[in-house]
Structure 1
Amino acid sequence: MDEEDGASLFAQEVAGIKPLKTSEVYLSKKGPEVDFLARQKAALMVNEEDRNHLSQDYVEKVQPNDVLAYKRSGVQDGVFKRLRQGKYGIEARLDLHRHTVAQAREQVYQFVDDCMRNDIRVAIIVHGKGDRAPTPEEQATLKSFINKWLRDLDPVMAFHSAQKFHGGLGAVYVLYKKTEKARLEDWEKHQKR
Structure 2
Amino acid sequence: MKRASGSTLAPATFEALARVRRTLREQATAPAISQPAPKKPKPAEDGAMLFRRAVADATPLPPSNRAGRTHPRPKPVARQRLRDEQQVMVDALADPWDYEAAVSTGEELFFSRPGVPTAAVRKLRRGSWVIKGELDLHGHTGDEARVALAAFLNRCMLEDRRCVRIIHGKGHGSKNRLPVLKNKVRHWLIQREDVLAFCQARSVDGGAGAVIVLLKSSSRQQKQKGTA
Between Structure 1 and Structure 2, whose CA radius of gyration is higher? 2
Q: Indicate how the Cα distance of structure 1 residues 55 and 140 shifts in structure 2: closer, same or farther if over 3 A, else same.
A: farther
SS in 2 for 1:135: helix
Q: Indicate how the Cα distance of structure 1 residues 152 and 104 shifts in structure 2: closer, same or farther if over 3 A, else same.
A: same
The answer for the alignment partner of 1:153 in structure 2 is: 192
Q: Is the 8 A contact 2:160 2:219 kept in 1?
A: no
Normalising by structure 2, what TM-score? 0.55
Select the structure with the greater relative contact order (CA < 8 A; seq sep ≥ 6).
Answer: 1
Query: What residue ranges of structure 2 are gaps of 5+ in the alignment?
Result: 1-81, 224-228
CA distance in 2, matches of 1:173, 1:92: 10
Q: Is the 8 A contact 1:54 1:105 kept in 2?
A: no
Q: Is the 8 A contact 2:92 2:146 kept in 1?
A: no
Q: Is the 8 A contact 1:54 1:149 kept in 2?
A: no
Which of 60, 64, 75 aligns to 2:116? It is: 75
Aligned residues: percent identity? 33
Normalising by structure 1, what TM-score? 0.64
Q: Indicate how the Cα distance of structure 1 residues 183 and 85 shifts in structure 2: closer, same or farther if over 3 A, else same.
A: farther
CA distance in 1, matches of 2:121, 2:166: 17
SS in 1 for 2:170: coil
The answer for the alignment partner of 1:20 in structure 2 is: none
Letter paired with 2:90: R
Which of 120, 123, 132 aligns to 2:164? It is: 123
Q: Indicate how the Cα distance of structure 1 residues 97 and 174 shifts in structure 2: closer, same or farther if over 3 A, else same.
A: same
- Per the TM alignment, residue 142 of structure 1 is displaced from its structure 2 partner at its CA by 0.5
The answer for the alignment partner of 1:109 in structure 2 is: 150
- Is the aligned partner of 1:178 residue 2:217? yes
- Per the TM alignment, residue 74 of structure 1 is displaced from its structure 2 partner at its CA by 1.3
User: How well do the aligned residues superpose, as a CA RMSD in angstroms?
Assistant: 2.4
SS in 1 for 2:189: helix
CA distance in 1, matches of 2:158, 2:90: 16
Number of residues of Structure 1 aligned to a counterpart in Structure 2: 138
- Per the TM alignment, residue 134 of structure 1 is displaced from its structure 2 partner at its CA by 3.6
The answer for the alignment partner of 1:66 in structure 2 is: 107
- Per the TM alignment, residue 118 of structure 1 is displaced from its structure 2 partner at its CA by 0.2
Between 1:62-71 and 1:117-126, the stretch displaced more is: 62-71
